[in-house]
Structure 1
Amino acid sequence: MTVTMVSVSDTAGGAEAHTVALGQGMRQRGHDVLLYGRCPGWEEHGLGRREIALGPKWSRRTMASGILRVPLERRRTQEIADSSIYYMQFKREQIALTAPLSRRAPVIWTEHGRWMGGAAGRLLLAGYARAAEHVSRVVCVSEAVADDLAPVVGRDKLVVVPNAIDTRCYAAPPAATRTALRERLLPSRFHDRRVAIIAARLHGAKRHDRAIAAALASGSALVVVGDGPDRERLERLSGDSADVHFTGHRDDVPDLLASADFYIYCGAETDGTPTCVLEAAAGGLPIVAFEGDPGTELVPRCGGLVIADPAELTAERAAALLDVGGSGVAYVEQRHGRETWLDAYEQIFGECLR
Structure 2
Amino acid sequence: MSREHLGNISSVDTMMCATAFNRSALLTSMCVLYSFIFIIGLAANALVLWVNIRAQRDSTPRHETHMYIAHLAVADLCVCATLPIWVSSLAQHGHWPFGEMACKLTHLLFSVNLFGSIFFLACMSVDRYFSLTKCDDSDRGARRKLVRRAACVGVWLLAFIASLPETYFLHTVKSSHGDLTLCRPVYPGENPRDWMVGIQFSFILLGFVLPFPIIAVFYTLLARTFRHSSSTAASTSVEQERRISRRVILAYIIVFLGCWGPYHSVLFADALAQLGLLPLTCGLDNVIYVALHLTQCLSLLHCCFNPILYNFINRNYRYDLMKAFIFKYSTRTGLARLIETSNVSDTEYSAVAVDNPPQI
TM-score after normalising by structure 2: 0.27
- Larger relative contact order (CA 8 Å, sep ≥ 6): 2
The structure where strand makes up a greater share of residues is 1
TM-score after normalising by structure 1: 0.28
| Structure having the higher Rg | 2
